[in-house]
Amino acid sequence: MKDGFIKVAAASPKLVVADCEYNTAEIMKLIGQADEKNVKVLVFPELCITGYTCGELFMQELLLTKSEEALGYILENTKHTEMVIVLGMPLMVANSLYNVAVFCQGGDILMVLPKSVIPNYQEFYEGRYFSKGVEVPYGITLCGQETMFGTHQIMVCDTIPELLISGEICEDMWVPDSPAVSHVLHGATLICNPSASDEIATKSAFRNKLVSIHSAKLVAGYIYADTGMDESTQDLVYSGHDMVAENGKILAESELFTTGLTIADIDIKKIAAERRRMNTFANLTGGVEDDDAYIYIPFTLNIEYTDIDRSFSRLPFVPSDDVKKNKRCEEIITLQAMGLRKRLAHTGCKHTVIGLSGGLDSTLALLVTVKAYDILGYDHSDIMAVTMPGFGTTDRTYQNAIDLANALGTTVREISIVDSVRQHFADIGQDENEHDVTYENAQARERTQILMDIANKTGGLVIGTGDMSELALGWATYNGDHMSMYGVNASIPKTLVRYLVRWYADNTDEKTAKVLYDVLDTPVSPELLPPKDGQISQKTEDIVGPYELHDFFLYYMLRFGYPPSKIFRIATLAFEGDYEKEEILKWMKTFYRRFFSQQFKRSCVPDGPKVGTVSLSPRGDLRMPSDASANLWMKELDVTIS
C-alpha cells in the first residue's frame, strides 16, 4: 500500500445453488488465496453465500438462517486478516428481506449496504423477494454484532486518508443516478459492486464499457465481482465476468466462464490527485447539501511495501493502441494545425516563416504548418523555410532541411549566420575559440532575429518549433529559439514529436518519407558546436539525459502530482533492463533541478495549442512561480531514494 497502491480483487467462487456450506468453503478458499497474494480489498458476487438464482427458496427460513450462520463462520475464520471482505447475502431486517453487501474486516462487520435498485422485468423477479434498500443508516444486529444498515455509509481508512470505500449492488450501476454517484460526492474513492449479471451475446462488451465509463464518471476505483457459471441455468447463463477499473481504465478483467480471483493494484492517490485537479468532489468536511447524512466508519490498514501488479508505459505521452494509432496521430497534428489556422485567419497573414534545421522539432512544425495551409486553402509556397547554417551545422541536417522544404513545395531560403555571428563576437569581445554558453546562444539569437525580421518584411508570422520537453528542462535560449509568434509544438513532448514524424513518414509519398526517415535517424542536437569529422559533436541527450526518462518524469509529476519517490519507483519498473536505478536517479535530479530553475523561460512563452492533458502554458496549466524552490523535491530524492 506504499505510495497509494491498494491491491484489490474481484472473486468468482465455484458454488452450488442454495448450498451455503459448500459455497462458504469455496469462498474461504479464495479468501486464503487472496490473503497469500496480499490483497487488501476482496469483493465477492451478489448473494454469493446462497447463490443468486435461488428464486422462491429465498422465502425459506432455513436458507436465511444457514446464510447467516455461514457469514458467522467466515467472520470467525478471517479474524487473522486485515483484508476488507465484501460478501453478498439475503438478510431479513425489520420484517423485510433485502439483498445486501456485508463489509467486514478481521472478523468484524463494518457495515451492511442493501441493494437500491430491484429489477422486476422480463425474466428477472428480484422484486418478488427483495425490498428496496433504505438510504438513512440505522443499527441492526447481525451474527451477534451491532452494525449499521443502509446505503449512505462510507468506510474511511485512518492510515490512508484517500481510501474511502462504499458500494452498490449489480443493477444499482445500470441506472442513470446510481448510488455510487452519491457515495463519491460524499468522499468515496473506491466502489465495490457484488454483482450477478446474466450473460447474453455481446453483453460482456457492453458491461466492460459500462464499468469503464462508470469509474471514469465517478473518478474512482471500481471492483466488479460477478457471479459465475455455476448458477442455475434454468432460464439464464452467468459467466463470472470480473473487472477492476480505475478512473475509466480497466486494470484487470477475467475471462468469461471462469472462476477465481481477478487482481489489480488501484492507485488511490492518483484518484485523489485527479479530484484535486477537478475540484468537483466534496470531502469529509462537507460541501454536499442533502437531508440524508452519511455516516463514516473508520478502519485500518497497515502501510507496507508490496509488489505492484500493474504496468506503466515507458512513453506515457505516446498512444499505446496500435489499432487507433493512425487516428490519434492525425487528430494531434490536426489540433496543432487548427490552432495555427485560427491565428493565421485572425491576423490575416498568408505568409509564415520557419527556421528549418533538419531536426525533429522544426520538421514537425513544418508538417503542421503545411496541414494548416491545406485547411485554409493557402499555397505552400507562402511558407518560407529558412535554413541558417552556422558553426555546428552538418551536411546531413542541412541537406535534409533543403530536401524536406522542396518536397513539401515550400519556399526555401538559405542564410548563413557565420559572418554575422563573428561580427557580433567582435562587437561584444567574445573569443570564437571559447565554446561557452555565449558562443552557443549568440547563434540561436541571431537565427531568431533573422526569422523575425523576414516575417516583418513579408508580413508573416514566425512559427515556433520548440517542444514541451525542451520547455520543461529550459533547454532553449532565452529570447532566442524559445521565442516566436505562435508555437505549434508547445505541448508536444519530444517522445511524441518523434512518434508523429514517424507516423507522417509512414503515410506520405516516397520522396518526403525518405527525408523524414533520415531526420528520425539523426541524433537530437542544437548543432551549436563545430562537428567532428563532419559528424554531430553535440548530442542533447548526452548532456541533459534521455528524453524518454524526462518525459516520463514530467508526465507523472504534472499530470498526477506524484512525489519524486513514487515516480522513481514506477520508473524503475517501467525502464527495468534499460536503465540502472542509479542512472534513473541521476537524471531525475537533473530533471527537478532544471524544471524549477528554468520556470522563468516558461513564464513568457508565446501562444500555442494544448493537445493533451499536460501543458506548460503559464496562462493555463502551469501557473508556477519563477522563483519557487526545488529543495523539498531534491531532499526527497536524497533521503527516500537511498
Name the amino acid, one letter, at 547: Y
Rounded-to-integer distance, Cα 9 and Cα 7, Å: 7
Among residues 415, 413, 414, 410, which one has the least CA distance to residue 512? 410
- Whether 507 and 328 have beta carbons less than 8 Å apart is answered as no
Selecting among 40, 66, 115, 566, the annotated active-site residue is 115
Q: Which three cell numbers stand for residue 151?
A: 446505503
Alpha helices (runs of H) in 354-436, residue ranges in sequence order: 360-376, 395-407, 418-428
Q: Residue 233's CB: how many other CB atoms inside 10 A?
A: 11
Rounded-to-integer distance, Cα 323 and Cα 225, Å: 29
Q: Residue 285's Cα: distance from chain center in Å?
A: 28
Q: HEC states along 38-65? A: CCCEEECCCCCCCCHHHHHHHHCHHHHH
Among residues 111, 165, 115, 166, which one has the least CA distance to residue 142? 111
Selecting among 170, 192, 329, 349, the annotated active-site residue is 170
Q: Please indicate whether residue 46 is annotated as part of the active site.
A: yes
- Whether 496 and 509 have beta carbons less than 8 Å apart is answered as no
* C-alpha distances in Å from residue 631, one per residue of 274, 564, 602: 25, 12, 20
Q: Please indicate whether residue 2 is annotated as part of the active site.
A: no
- Whether 85 and 118 have beta carbons less than 8 Å apart is answered as no
Selecting among 46, 253, 470, 548, the annotated active-site residue is 46
Q: Residue 326's CB: how many other CB atoms inside 10 A?
A: 13
* C-alpha distances in Å from residue 552, one per residue of 59, 190, 539: 57, 27, 20
Q: Please indicate whether residue 231 is annotated as part of the active site.
A: no
Q: List phi, psi (to 5°) of 82.
A: -90, 0
- Whether 475 and 544 have beta carbons less than 8 Å apart is answered as yes
Q: Which three cell numbers stand for residue 203?
A: 453483453
* C-alpha distances in Å from residue 298, one per residue of 82, 104, 164, 210: 13, 12, 9, 30
Among residues 604, 496, 504, which one has the least CA distance to residue 550? 496
Active site residues: 46, 115, 170
